[in-house]
Amino acid sequence: MTEQDSNTQEYRVLARKYRPANFDDMIGQEALVRTLTNAIQSGRIAQAFVLTGVRGVGKTTTARIIAKALNCLGPDGTGNPTASPCGVCDNCVAISEDRHVDVQEMDAASRTGVDDIRELIEGVRYKPVAARYKIYILDEVHMLSKNAFNALLKTLEEPPEHVKFIFATTEIRKVPITVLSRCQRFDLRRIPVEKLAGHFKKVSTAEGIEIEDDAVAMVARAADGSARDGLSILDQAIALSSGTVTAQQLRDMLGLADRARIFDLFDAIMQGKAADALDALRGMYDEGADPIVIMQDMLDVCYWLTRLKLTPALADEPSTPDIERSKGMEMAGQLSQPILSRAWQMLLKGLQEVMGAPNAIQAAEMVVVRLIHVADMPTPGDLVKKLSEGGLPAGQPNGAAVAGASSNGGAHAQGQMMQGSPNGGGQPTARLAAVGGQAVNMQVGHAEAITPAPQQAISAAPKFKGPKDFNEAIQLFRDRREGMMVMHLENNVHLVKFQQGHIEMRLVGNVPKDIHGKVGQMLSTWTGERWLVTLSNDAGAPTVASQKKQAQQALQDEAELDPLVRAVKKHFPEARIKKVIEAPKIATPTLSVVENGDETNGIDE
């Protein structure tokens, strides 16, 4: 065997070579380390632990450190359980090399059956051979079958004093609650990017490899909170380089785009520069950037700009890169929160399309085109202005009335334009009042256009002795706060005859049979006059409620024909009119003119 072959066999990947040997070597898990350290020092050691977290944050490593801490004998062989295992005694060395007879590590993903657990339980009753405690480490414990979990429950609840269980899982929700209730649970967190970057820098220095700061940052971001994933990426980058790991090498290896170019691409999209944006996207793709990664990076930029807009102090943190600080603050100041929210939703949907498309770069370009199209769309204020320039007057501040001729033949229009906030996917809202002599309130949203109508002011009914018609009679009941009677009179009564002191009606639906007597009695009491209310079998007029509905439908049909409403619905096909209220008429202003001592009235132009 040649010397080169020998060196190849002896090589250990960085993820194994730099695996923490004690709690002091662990990064990003301060709360876990502090809790376990205090528990071991105070002797309050549980019979079972469950460690959960994403891949590569140190679950199995923590389990092995706990096993060494509980079984460490010290350099002189007389030590007790300690939070700082010596690493040189026979137990520490054997556990580190994964050959200790009393520390059994079982892969629950490959041994999922109840027979495997029964075999484990059979060995629980025997005392350890060389260690202080017999340790059972079950990795990916959520993969055990239901029967296997049930077989483990009794032993897990009351194990012998010399047995400890340590479970590790990435899917804590799949572990039965009956198992979790018998264990102390520790959640290992994702390791922050800045701590990962510092750790990778130390590893590179220890390996005698120079690495650029931008390259370290790329590795830390690509690791996604996992130290093991990051070390694997760094291992590959070192093998690719010739002594110095550069940012460009990392981009080529990972299919990443330059961070500055991602910001430039997003900026071009938001400014509606289609040619620049598509050229930038195609350029990054030609240089090896993955379209999926580009979409993810743009989502990251959108998220970062949103955070900067809400929390500008983030730009002053030492861990913030220069490009994200300078370019980010500039773009965050130019873009509004509604625009960023709309871009986020479209990028999120676009990412799914790119991932499922047969040609990823084509799908990515179409996503960019859609974003550019939305960026070029007018704001609600601009849309109202454009519509108003077509012959319809723009609204005045504070709802001031403006009289003018509409395009449907000189009807007066009173307008109030109000810009709303984005709804859902960021579509604008526009409120239009008094179109063609009617009040129309339209709101355009992301999924469904809803048109809440402005409420018509209803003044208190005048006080009168006797109502002059059936509507005035109902209004009198409304003024007296007789809500139930009002509901019945509007929905369940067909008026047959109305004259002063006498009402004749036909009842329908679920209505009290003596309602006519109560109506007559109440009217007589309130007006001081005698009122007779009788029932009839004649058909009578439609109910007040149906008359209102028909009148509203007629107004809505008339509003649908208005040119302004048509223009709005042309721009927003999903919009619909929900309610139309007739606008109050505006008095035509007049001007008194005095000529040669004679006063005349003229129209103010």
Instruction: Report the distance separating Cα 335 and Cα 323, nearest Å.
Output: 17
333-348 burial: b if 16+ Cβ within 10 Å, else e: eebeebbbbbbbbbbe
Counting every residue, how long is the chain?
605
* Rg for the chain, CA atoms, rounded: 39
Instruction: Report the distance separating Cα 144 and Cα 174, nearest Å.
Output: 10
Among the CATH numbers 3.40.50.300, 2.120.10.30, 1.10.150.650, 3.30.310.220, which is that of 11-187? Answer: 3.40.50.300
Q: Are 223 and 229 contacting, i.e. CB atoms less than 8 angstroms apart?
A: yes
Closest CA to 55 of 226, 246, 278: 226
- pLDDT of 74: 85
Structure tokens at 384: 């109202």
pLDDT, tens digit, 9 for 90 and up, residues 312-349? 888 777 767 777 777 888 888 888 888 888 889 999 99
Q: Mapping DSSP to helix (H, G, I), strand (E, B) and coil, where does residue 51 land?
A: strand
pLDDT category at 459 given cuts 50, 70, 90 is very low
Instruction: Report the distance separating Cα 21 and Cα 95, nearest Å.
Output: 10
- Is the pLDDT at 359 greater than 80? The verdict is yes
**What's the N-to-C CA distance of the chain in angstroms?**
106
Sequence ranges of the domains in the chain: 11-187, 255-376, 470-546
Instruction: Report the distance separating Cα 112 and Cα 219, nearest Å.
Output: 35
pLDDT category at 582 given cuts 50, 70, 90 is low
pLDDT category at 27 given cuts 50, 70, 90 is confident
Q: Return the residue matching tokens 């107004």.
A: 555
pLDDT, tens digit, 9 for 90 and up, residues 170-218? 889 999 999 999 998 998 888 888 888 889 999 988 888 888 888 888 8
Class of CATH domain 470-546: alpha beta
- pLDDT of 347: 93
pLDDT, tens digit, 9 for 90 and up, residues 49-81? 999 988 888 888 999 999 999 989 888 878 888
Amino acid found at 292: I
- pLDDT of 17: 86
Name the helix (H) or strand (E) containing 533: strand 532-535
The verdict on domain 255-376 having CATH code 1.20.272.10 is yes
Structure tokens at 367: 């996503």
- Is the pLDDT at 574 greater than 80? The verdict is no
- pLDDT of 376: 63
Q: Is 87 left (phi over 0), alpha (psi -120 to 50) or beta?
A: left
Mean pLDDT along residues 374-396: 58
Q: Are 141 and 111 contacting, i.e. CB atoms less than 8 angstroms apart?
A: no
Structure tokens at 133: 């405690």
pLDDT, tens digit, 9 for 90 and up, residues 267-291? 899 888 888 899 989 988 888 788 9
Mean pLDDT along residues 116-133: 88
- Is the pLDDT at 598 greater than 60? The verdict is no
Looking at per-residue pLDDT, the higher value among 570 and 450 belongs to 570
Residue 502 CA, chain-centre distance (Å), reads 62
